[in-house]
């Protein structure tokens, strides 16, 4: 009996990440954009790029981006809009709201 009763509790911890707040609407929108536009390269490297795209977990936790540029919203936005190396440019592909949502999600450390 105890085991059965513990299951929903464990599930709740799993879903809500050990007591961290659930994602906001904006962060969820950013997550959808990340999953749709970025994850296939940055998580899955599905194009088998020779230069493996850097892992973006905690991209804002370090002071610098993999390229050595400062890890700021402006730099990340620039990398996304201008492209970098093998990464394509997303110029004109995101509205300002979408870009803000994407950055908000990246700031969560990709939960």
Rule CB under 6 A: which residues touch ligand HEC?
37-38, 41-42, 47, 49, 51, 53-54, 56, 59, 65-67, 69, 76, 79-80, 84-88, 90, 102
* Least separation in angstroms between CB 15 and ligand HEC: 25
Count of C-beta atoms within a 10 Å radius of residue 105: 25
The rounded distance, in Å, linking the Cα atoms of 24 and 20 is 12
What is the residue whose two structure tokens read 């919203």?
Answer: 73
* Least separation in angstroms between CB 8 and ligand HEC: 35
Residue nearest to ligand HEC (CB): 85
Question: Please, are residues 22 and 16 in contact by the beta-carbon 8 Å criterion?
Answer: yes
């Amino acid at each position: 009996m105890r085991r059965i009763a513990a299951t929903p509790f464990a599930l709740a911890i799993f879903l809500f990440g050990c007591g961290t707040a659930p994602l906001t609407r904006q962060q969820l929108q950013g997550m959808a954009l990340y999953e749709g536009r970025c994850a296939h390269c940055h998580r899955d490297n599905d194009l088998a790029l020779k230069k493996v795209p850097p892992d973006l977990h905690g991209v804002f936790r370090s002071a610098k981006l993999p390229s050595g540029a400062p890890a700021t919203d402006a730099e990340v936005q620039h990398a996304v809009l201008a492209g970098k190396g093998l990464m394509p440019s997303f110029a004109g592909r995101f509205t300002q709201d979408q870009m803000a949502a994407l950055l908000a999600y990246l700031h969560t450390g990709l939960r």
